[in-house]
Amino acid sequence: MRNLALLTDFYQLTMMNGYLKHNIHEDIVVFDYFFRKNPCDSSYTIIAGIEQVIDYVENLKFTEEDLDYLRGLGFDESFLSALKNFKFSGTIYGVPEGSIMFPNEPVLRIKAPSFEAQLIETALLNILNFQSLIATKASRIIEAAEGDPVFEFGLRRAQGPDAGIYGARAAVIGGCSSTSNVLAGKMFDIPVVGTQAHSWIQSFDSELEAFEAYAATYPDNCLLLVDTYNTLNSGVPNAIKVFHQLRKRGFEPKGIRIDSGDIAYLSKEARKILDAAGFQNVSIVASSDLDEETIYSLKIQKSAINGWGVGTNLITSSNCPALGGVYKLSAIEKKDKIIPKIKISENPEKITNPGYKKVIRIYDSYNNAQADLIMLEEEVIDTNKPLTIFHPIYTWKKKTFNRYSVREMLIPIYQEGNLVYPRKTVSEIRSYAKKELDSLWPEYKRFNRPHLYKVDLSEKLWNLKNQMVSEYKERDAF
């Protein structure tokens, strides 16, 4: 594993040095990682990257080379000595990777000495923001595909090798069946797929020869790219000739791929030709700058596509290139007492929720997720009694639950520096994410104007927040 100790913003180091100089570097603080808005016009976000956060923390140390570099930036020996002995000793609670989360909810809750909690901010944001973005984008594409397999093809268009590798991982967590990225396949035990490019077809004297050569090499996995010259007049007829040859040899062809043109029209015409030739079970795979909106449109047009290769628009999340996750101080601990902290802003949506908090998910009797409640850690819900929640801004909007169950979303990841989180494979995380999505009503998963999931504050937290806002505003008045 790589040591990413210097994967941080310079101001994290300057603040840490300041904490040390003022002898508050061991003060216990609480930070929340959360996001304010779902990406891609979605009503939810799939959290991905927890395993990489763990890898980062587990391998976090400053080498002599790192310290020499920082010495050259002007840091003194007392600070460098503190870094040399750095080891994370704090407590982290977070949601299991693959969880569905919503704006303003604590996804991770970090309680640690300020010296440690400050350092991990940048890397944590870098890891979780990107993978959660791509997992969410992938889930929307999967929803549009209506059960068809979606293959992640984005490596060549990703923003560098790491984005290609970890984007592929996140895409599979979001529901993709496989990736073209061989290194990601090796690293995360992800199925890899791929056949041939147009250059293969062009390398032979004729399209038919290219198809025959490929079928001879891979007779049990023959899927042919048919749009190099003319999809309907050349590609599909030549593919059928080769498919007949394969069948005579005892092999069944897998399919064809269309990468350009009017995919709806071409796929429907190709389907007719294939069916008439006796190849009703041959798949038709589409690629060519697809995204959820395009796939949704092709479904409405009753295209004959039953497999989708999605690259650029998935790996870059082209319509929403960043998830704006943030890392905010919510409390400090003094003499074993939690003192809530709040960030005030002229933008109401940027006012943070103070205190040491948890997230409760409320389920109906059919195990459908109904709402989330952000609460202070010490609060307890008695499920034998009705539970009434209210909108944190439009407080007259209320909902009462009578037959319901609750689940705490945050579980321990680190306890006093010790890893306690059960590591999972990508396949296990993918299955968990699907189960999480299945708990949402379809209205939350539609592409345009989805129903907004309820995320409310407990009355105690709501009162604390408003009291603190009022107190700060009164100070400003003087």
CB 166 within 8 A of CB 190: no
Alpha-carbon gap, residue 142 to 144, rounded angstroms: 5
For position 478, what pLDDT does the model report? 46
Tens of pLDDT along 13-40?
A: 999 999 999 999 999 999 999 999 999 9
**First CA to last CA distance, the chain:** 54
Output the CA torsion sign for 190, 196, 197, 199.
Answer: positive
Q: What is the pLDDT of residue 474?
A: 75
Closest to 41 measured CA to CA, from 455, 454, 445: 445
Pairing verdict, β 255-258 and 223-225? parallel
What pLDDT digit, counting tens, does each position of 27-74 carry?
A: 999 999 999 999 999 999 999 999 999 999 999 999 999 999 999 999
d(CA 374, CA 102): 11
User: What secondary structure does DSSP assign to 365-419, as a single string?
Assistant: TT--EEEEEEEETT----TTS-EEEE-SSSTT-EEEESS-EEEE--EEEEETTEE
Contact criterion met (CB below 8 Å) for 42 and 136: yes
| Cβ(360)–Cβ(409) below 8 Å | yes
Banded pLDDT at 383 (limits 50, 70, 90): very high
- The structure tokens 């109904």 sit at 370
Burial class (CB in 10 A: 0-12, 13-18, 19+), 118: buried
CA 9 – CA 122 distance, rounded (Å): 6
**Sign of the CA dihedral running 255, 256, 262, 267:** negative
Q: What's the pLDDT tens digit per position in 360-376?
A: 999 999 999 999 999 99
CATH of domain 10-134+321-477: 3.20.140.10
**319 φ/ψ angles, rounded to the nearest 5 degrees:** -85, -5
pLDDT tens readout for residues 313-335: 999 999 999 999 999 999 999 98
- Residues of the chain above pLDDT 90, percent: 95
pTM of the model: 0.96
Tell me the average pLDDT of the chain.
96
What DSSP line would sit under 165-197, residue for residue? HHHHHHHHHTT--EES-HHHHHHHT--B-----
Domain 135-315: give its CATH code.
Answer: 3.20.20.70
pLDDT digits (tens, 9 = 90+) for 275-318: 999 999 999 999 989 999 999 999 999 999 999 999 999 999 99
Task: Please state, in angstroms and rounded to a whole number, the distance separating the CA atoms of residues 316 and 349.
Answer: 27
Instruction: Please state, in angstroms and rounded to a whole number, the distance separating the CA atoms of residues 232 and 162.
Output: 39
- In the chain, where are the structural domains located? 10-134+321-477, 135-315
